[in-house]
């Protein structure tokens, strides 16, 4: 499909960032909001993102001006009949998205593709709000969209091959890595990320607050650009808890939520936005000030509970990735993506220096299985080995990549 003009619905941080990614590819963009105040904030975000690219030498001042001119801010759908491709970037509320997709179905021409940037909601359910389910697709940009390279392209049950191809082609045109991901809760990258993030909290519960910096530094030294606890503070413990609860609801016991997370949310220790999470934060300068001493009170209570202390106090960064590796084999077993796409997607989406399959191959699949079986034998359901991992080991495979 030839794409001439696109639209982005929602001019929040994510929507305005997607708009900047679009104009970076030379596309004209209608950027829609419901109120002028929101639209003004969105255009201010556009200015800020473009200024950042100029500062980094990625654009000249003149190029930034030219690109911004490609955006037309609007408060209604009057011009949407001219649009070939729409990306919805509204809040993660099914009711909000239902209204938007019903409106898009009415205003857009019959061949227009309607994409949602949802990170968790069902593409099939959203598509059912329209009379063109074959032309609705998930297009999950990673934040910030104008910088991050990964776009997960998720077909719903009725999405056509041509629609998926058009979304992948658009991602490629924007200089992104477009990866087809079959529909499942949290899709690919966030699904695997959830296992690793939970495991970092289990490790912290075993080790105590003094290990916050140890865990983060070890993981940074190993393979990640930022530690899991610092990342949780950046994104917000309340957001993290909502995602963790959703994954537990969808996948069951292996995604069980570590007790420390709801305790922190209840204490309003949400991270950078409240000034305290795993770390203390200066909200004016956004600098970390050291480990939050109040965390020890929560962890001490958990130490005395029946659920804590099952894994002992030993820690190495590699151990946090065992659940992610196991989930990667479950993903391959379910054929959620092509195996060759899995590591590149995790590296592009999370900034990992190695993907989970490469890490598994480095450890050795037999050793990965042995470690999982040992932990599973201790009664920890989250370590139940994936059947496909067992089959790889039975076949004598040393690695995946």
Residues classed as catalytic:
119, 140, 152, 190
Question: How far apart, in Å, do the first and last CA atoms of the chain sit?
Answer: 34
Longest CA span, the chain: 63
Burial of 262 (0-12, 13-18, 19+ CB in 10 A): middle
Question: What is residue 83's DSSP assignment?
Answer: -
Q: Helix, strand, coil: what percent of the chain each, to 5?
A: 55, 10, 35
Residue with tokens 């200015």: 47
**C-alpha distances out from residue 238 to 21, 263, 269, 279, 287, Å:** 28, 11, 9, 15, 20
Collapsing DSSP to helix, strand or coil, 362 comes out as: helix
108 within 8 A of 83, measured Cβ to Cβ: yes
Parallel, antiparallel, or unpaired for β 177-180 and 28-32?
unpaired
Question: What is residue 271's DSSP assignment?
Answer: B
Q: How far apart are CA 295 and CA 303, in angstroms?
A: 12
319 within 8 A of 204, measured Cβ to Cβ: no
């Amino acid at each position: 499909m030839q794409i001439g003009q696109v639209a982005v619905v929602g001019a929040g941080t994510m929507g305005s960032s997607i708009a900047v990614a679009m104009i970076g590819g030379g596309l004209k963009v209608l950027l829609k909001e419901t109120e002028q105040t929101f639209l003004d904030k969105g255009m201010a975000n556009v200015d800020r993102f473009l200024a950042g690219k100029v500062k980094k030498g990625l654009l000249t001042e003149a190029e930034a001006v030219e690109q911004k001119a490609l955006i037309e801010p609007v408060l209604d759908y009057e011009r949407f009949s001219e649009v070939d491709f729409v990306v919805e970037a509204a809040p993660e509320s099914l009711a909000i998205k239902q209204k938007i997709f019903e409106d898009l179905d009415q205003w857009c021409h019959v061949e227009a593709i309607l994409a949602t940037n949802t990170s968790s909601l069902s593409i099939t359910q959203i598509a059912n709000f329209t009379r063109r389910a074959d032309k609705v697709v998930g297009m999950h940009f990673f934040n910030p969209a104008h910088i991050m390279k990964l776009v997960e392209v998720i077909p719903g049950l009725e999405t056509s091959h041509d629609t998926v191809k058009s979304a992948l082609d658009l991602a490629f045109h924007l200089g992104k890595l477009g990866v087809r991901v079959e529909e499942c809760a949290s899709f690919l990258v966030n699904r695997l990320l959830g296992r690793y993030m939970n495991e970092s909290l289990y490790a912290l519960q075993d080790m105590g607050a003094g290990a916050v910096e140890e865990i983060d530094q070890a993981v940074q030294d190993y393979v990640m650009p930022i530690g899991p606890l610092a990342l949780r503070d950046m994104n917000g413990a309340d957001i993290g808890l909502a995602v963790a609860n959703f994954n537990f609801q969808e996948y069951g016991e292996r995604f069980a939520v570590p007790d420390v997370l709801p305790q922190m949310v209840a204490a309003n220790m949400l991270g950078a936005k409240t000034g305290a999470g795993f770390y203390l934060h200066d909200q004016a300068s956004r600098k970390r000030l050291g480990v939050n001493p109040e965390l020890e009170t929560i962890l001490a209570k958990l130490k005395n509970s029946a659920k804590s202390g099952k894994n002992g106090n030993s820690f190495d960064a590699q151990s946090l990735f065992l659940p992610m590796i196991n989930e990667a084999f479950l993903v391959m077993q379910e054929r959620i993506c092509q195996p060759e796409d899995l590591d590149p997607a995790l590296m592009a989406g999370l900034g990992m220096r190695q993907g989970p399959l490469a890490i598994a191959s480095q450890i050795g699949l037999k050793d990965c299985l042995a470690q999982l079986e040992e932990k599973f034998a201790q009664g920890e359901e989250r370590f139940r080995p994936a059947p496909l991992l067992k089959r790889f080991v039975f076949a004598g495979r040393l690695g995946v990549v």
